Amino acid sequence: MSTVQRATKSNAAKKIADKNKLAIHGGAPARTKPLPLEFPGVFGMGAAEIKAATAVLRAKSPFRYYGLALQKETERFETEFARFIGTRYAVAVGSGTGALHTALSALAAGPGQEVIVPAYLWVSVVAAVVNLGAIPVLADIDESFSLNPLEVEKRITPKTTGIILVHMSGAPGNAKAIRDIAKRQGLFLLEDCAQCAGGSVDGQKVGSFGDIGIFSFQMNKNMTAGEGGCLVTNDLKLYQRAEACHDLGYARDGSGRLVMDSPDLWLWGRGYRMDELRAAVLRVQLRKLPGVVRAMHRSKYRIRAALGKFPEAQLRKMVDPKGDTGCFLIITYRDAETAKRVCQALRAEGITTFPQGLSNLVMTDWGLHLYYNIRSLVNRGSVDGRGFPWNIPANAGLGGSYAKGTCPAADGLFERSVLLPIPSCLTRRDEDDIIHAFEKVLSAELSSGSGERLEK
């Protein structure tokens, strides 16, 4: 080989080495522009939502039951949402938390009863149980990041009244197995689909497996009006109870007047009604939801496919990949140290958001989604400052530990896993950057087998 040839070859090798040099070691980052924030429903908002909201204002009728020229947006939204999910009934409410309270009220959860909840959840789930005077019981998760059916079985006692299955981080949980347990044991199943609107298992939409399904339309969700929620059911009695509970505690007739002739519906209302403005916006967002989900799913599964060549980067187990809405990518590494290093190196490569995005983080930093981060749960915080509901006689001996260590599979997964939101507006270029960053970091980290190269 001539001197010139040798020099050309070594220049080329240097170029490749420079290209692969990790940003955390001073190399050029995979991208310099922050990733977009994870607000799926918001990115598609536009003229149609503005027109829908304006029409309500023009009609001077923002209240769902009567107005100067009532548009019946809330009623129509309920019909359309129930049809989309595949249930007979829907009740629109002010928030996902409100939907949980309304659902548990309709299901008559209360003192003396235990409700099984997953280790990976959102604080509102346990808040609803405790506020009603019932006691949450934690059950561990598996690599799908949702309830492990075997762990659920172990937690059932004579005091158990129901199970809350939470479809976390965009992907459906094991709805069929959990439904079978609930049926066999005579328990209610409440599905929390706040993070999984549009998700499905074997073609059946989440929310339609349980006695009641609840949704949130808060701003981070797949469809949104800033705030909002809905519950769905196939059961007429539960629907009537939920409708009364979300409102004033009584039924209403077709023209919105209160009806007091049914003692079964002399209940206590919670004042969680949805207003016409948000319902109008949500009707538009519902039409856009399949497109939003398609976009996130396409981006996520392109990235997942590219990561297939790194077996040490374990992709989240999917109950049904087709029914995943795609809004989060979760990858589990062999130990907590590797997860931290990979996460930091990816952030240095520019795989993060700005300004306040909770993008690309080790799951131990994922706040009130982890049972042991919920201080009022771990410390059995009371609703009334006098110990309710933990210290009332009906609840004596119920519950269990809520401290870290109660759910070891979840504890391990949280430490070893990194969560990356997948916005619905990623361009092919954004996806290329993410894939390139992963390839750089994982080649360096995992091909060495010991993490040496990242630590240098």
Ligand X SMILES: Cc1ncc(COP(=O)(O)O)c(C=O)c1O
Question: Which CB atom, from 95 or from 364, has the smaller least distance to ligand X?
Answer: 95
229 makes contact with ligand X (CB under 6 A): yes
Report the C-alpha gap between 444 and 437 in whole angstroms: 11
Q: How far is the CB of 118 from ligand X (least distance, A)?
A: 10
CA quadruple 123, 191, 320, 426: dihedral sign: negative
Report the C-alpha gap between 173 and 61 in whole angstroms: 39
Report the C-alpha gap between 272 and 284 in whole angstroms: 21
Catalytic residue among 9, 19, 51, 221: 221
Report the C-alpha gap between 372 and 402 in whole angstroms: 6
Q: How far is the CB of 199 from ligand X (least distance, A)?
A: 12
Mind giving me the DSSP string for 209-223? SSSEEEEE-STTSSS
Binding mask 95-114 for ligand X (x = CB under 6 A): xxx-----------------
325 makes contact with ligand X (CB under 6 A): no
Q: How far is the CB of 28 from ligand X (least distance, A)?
A: 37
Instruction: Supply 319's token pair.
Output: 């109950």
Question: Which CB atom, from 53 or from 164, has the smaller least distance to ligand X?
Answer: 164
CB proximity list for 50: less than 8 A, separation 6 or greater: none
By the 8 A CB rule, do 389 and 130 touch?
Answer: yes
Q: How far is the CB of 126 from ligand X (least distance, A)?
A: 10
Identify the residue among 124, 224, 233, 285 touching ligand X (CB under 6 A).
124
Q: How far is the CB of 355 from ligand X (least distance, A)?
A: 20
Site for ligand X in 193-212 (CB under 6 A): 194-195
Radius of gyration of the chain (CA): 24
349 makes contact with ligand X (CB under 6 A): no
Taking CA atoms, 252 is separated from 60, 218, 240, 246, 266, in Å, by 22, 27, 10, 12, 12
Binding span for ligand X by CB under 6 A among 90-98, 111-119, 233-241, 360-368: 90-98
* Longest Cα–Cα distance in the chain: 100
Binding span for ligand X by CB under 6 A among 6-14, 72-80, 93-101, 400-408: 93-101
Question: Which CB atom, from 161 or from 195, has the smaller least distance to ligand X?
Answer: 195
Identify the residue among 103, 125, 197, 446 touching ligand X (CB under 6 A).
125
Clarify whether 221 is annotated catalytic.
Answer: yes
Instruction: Count how many residues are written for the chain.
Output: 456
Known catalytic residues?
221
Please report, as ranges, the residues that interact with ligand X according to CB under 6 A. 95-97, 122, 124-125, 166, 192, 194-195, 216, 218, 229
